[in-house]
Amino acid sequence: MALKCSSRSRLSSFMVMDVMQKAAQIEQLNHDVMHLEVGQPSTGAPAAACRAIVDALDDPSAHGYTLALGIDPLRKGIARHYERAYGLQVSPENVIVTVGSSLGFVMAFLTCFENGDRIAMTNPGYSAYRNLMLSVGLEVVDLPAGAAQNWVPRVEDLAAMDPKPEGLILASPSNPTGVVLSADELAAIARWCHDNDVRLISDEIYHGISFDVDCATALGSSSSAIIVNSFSKYFSMTGHRVGWMIVPDDLIDPMERLAQNAVISVPTLSQIAATAAITDDHALNELEGYVARYRTNRDVLLDGLPASFLGNVAPAQGAFYIYADTSGISANSIELADRLLKEAHVATTPGADFDPVDGHLALRLSFAGSTDDMKEAARRITAWVRDYTRRA
């Protein structure tokens, strides 16, 4: 008997996870692999967050459920963060704590859109948006944001979409390109969406990690946008699985009902840790130190990698990624990433994970790891490219 498996279960895999699995196999053979594939800080949670967990361990309530939208101190701490970081007033009522930003996307898709609605996303863009949207019955429309657009999505391309999409999701700083939209560019997109009844989901998960440019929030220019953020990147707490959304008033109740039914609540100890991370001044100093390391790491790669490997590289102004145009070396990024892993023991992510059109010509390098690892990765890639070019 063949039991049915839904068509929506036929999701594409998240290629970076496949690379991680292959890297683990190579490590089992006692080779040390430089991990430039995964977008995850090599550091742990700030000290204040760790202490908060230890202090809470003896309290039985720290081991139980919380209210579906999150614990009060965390919602208040996040609201205050908007005042401190952007000078914007946010009510804790509009803050919704989620299981990573990943659950936030699913909640936003399910709450705001009907089956078959068309949602635009930047190309290149974060592949999980595409895969999740397809799995909940949405149609994905690409908004170009590649080299031909100077890596910046344009309002005129949005306005030219026919039929008009019901939503737009984009990230600034961007994964995979590291491009940060200027306040004007983001405001123009946010206002266009608001004026045209297009729901904007602004993924601001890499805010705090930018080099010589400020990260603007869409919250300042649209009252209908959903702002998504997380403790995973700037706060260095990927495994705690805490994210948040700032939502307009009319979405609070539907989101609450969905959260109650889908997850009941976000892990309690993680919410306690996140509260400390976002409210403790020492934690913020610690995190700024990590951002300084990312900047050094970026420079190590940009200065140390051969020009043929960096091609027409997107400006790495934020997040912790370099999106390298590797077309001078290979026209198949999946094969190139595979060879780099097997022959140089450097794990990278094929551009095909982020761009179904031109991604075969690019690799994404994450510089979230240690500076020593970046130096070693640059040395290995340079030697590999030299050998490869000699043999070609």
Ligand X SMILES: Cc1ncc(COP(=O)(O)O)c(C=O)c1O
Q: Using CB under 6 A, list all residues that contact ligand X.
A: 39, 100-102, 126, 171, 175, 203, 205, 230, 232, 238, 243
Residue 95 or residue 329: which is nearer to ligand X going by CB?
Answer: 95
Ranked by CB distance to ligand X, the top (closest) residue is 100
DSSP per residue over 282-340, as a string? Answer: HHHHHHHHHHHHHHHHHHHHHHHS-HHHHSSPPP--BTTEEEEE-TTT-S-HHHHHHHI
Least distance in Å: CB of 365 to ligand X?
14
Any idea of the CA torsion for 67, 70, 72, 78, to the nearest 10 degrees? Answer: -170
Least distance in Å: CB of 178 to ligand X?
11
Q: Could you identify the residue written with the tokens 């430039």?
A: 36
User: Residue 318: beta bridge partners?
Assistant: 210
- Helices 371-391 & 281-304 angle (0-180, nearest 10): 20
Q: Are strands 34-35 and 346-347 parallel, antiparallel or unpaired?
A: parallel
Q: Cis before residue 124, ω within 30 degrees of 0? A: yes
Least distance in Å: CB of 369 to ligand X?
14
Least distance in Å: CB of 29 to ligand X?
27
Tell me the residue ranges of DSSP E strands in the chain.
Answer: 34-35, 95-98, 118-123, 139-144, 167-171, 199-203, 226-230, 243-246, 321-325, 346-347, 349-350, 362-366
Residue 101 or residue 222: which is nearer to ligand X going by CB?
Answer: 101
Least distance in Å: CB of 239 to ligand X?
9
Angstrom distance (rounded) from CA 153 to CA 305: 28
Angstrom distance (rounded) from CA 279 to CA 271: 12
Q: Is the dihedral of CA 246, 252, 256, 257 positive or negative?
A: negative
Angstrom distance (rounded) from CA 185 to CA 187: 6
Which residue, among 48, 120, 25, 124, has the nearest Cα to 278 in the 3D structure?
Answer: 48
Least distance in Å: CB of 215 to ligand X?
13
Least distance in Å: CB of 177 to ligand X?
11
Residue 242 or residue 329: which is nearer to ligand X going by CB?
Answer: 242
Residue 177 or residue 326: which is nearer to ligand X going by CB?
Answer: 177
Read off the tokens for 249: 């008033």
Residue 237 or residue 340: which is nearer to ligand X going by CB?
Answer: 237
Residue 165 or residue 243: which is nearer to ligand X going by CB?
Answer: 243
Residue 179 or residue 385: which is nearer to ligand X going by CB?
Answer: 179
Read off the tokens for 36: 């430039």
Read off the tokens for 124: 């290149």
Residue 275 or residue 330: which is nearer to ligand X going by CB?
Answer: 275
Least distance in Å: CB of 98 to ligand X?
8
